[in-house]
Amino acid sequence: DVKVTQSSRYLVKRTGEKVFLECVQDMDHENMFWYRQDPGLGLRLIYFSYDVKMKEKGDIPEGYSVSREKKERFSLILESASTNQTSMYLCASRSWGSYNEQFFGPGTRLTVL
């Protein structure tokens, strides 16, 4: 079974702090994704990566950056956290040629005070 893990299930940070969310997958998938999920808005794509050191902006990249130094790890960075970044963050991965089927981690619920 594909396993996607996220470093924290719950996180509380203060406004202005730098926040790192880590995601690791164990199936040698090329693509990795970061979404945020808010009530009534579904899943919105923040960034994705289709290879090591490669990244593409999604629909809502403002206020976020990402890092992919190793194939199995994809990090989401909030340079200066703000209260409107309080949300559930979901990481996913997929293999090329898989009909775009994605495998999701358990999510990190981030609260910014």
Partner 1 sequence: AQSVTQLGSHVSVSEGALVLLRCNYSSSVPPYLFWYVQYPNQGLQLLLKYTSAATLVKGINGFEAEFKKSETSFHLTKPSAHMSDAAEYFCAVSEGSGNTGKLIFGQGTTLQVKP
**Residues interacting with partner 1, by CB under 8 A?**
4, 9, 30-31, 33, 40-43, 45, 48, 50-51, 56, 90, 92, 94, 96-97, 99-107, 109
Cβ 50 to partner 1 shortest distance, Å = 4
Q: Closer to partner 1 at the Cβ: 28 or 56? A: 56
Q: Which two tokens stand for residue 48?
A: 């994705």
Rank residues 84 and 100 by Cβ distance to partner 1 and give the closer one: 100
In the complex with partner 1, which residue's Cβ is closer, 18 or 70? 70
Gap between the Cα atoms of 66 and 4, Å rounded: 17
| Distance from the first to the final alpha carbon of the chain | 37
Provide the token pair at 112: 């910014």
CB 90 within 8 A of CB 109: no
CB of 38 to partner 1, least distance (A): 10
Categorise residue 12: left if φ over 0, alpha if ψ from -120 to 50, beta otherwise. beta
Smallest separation (angstroms) from partner 1 to the CB of 42: 4
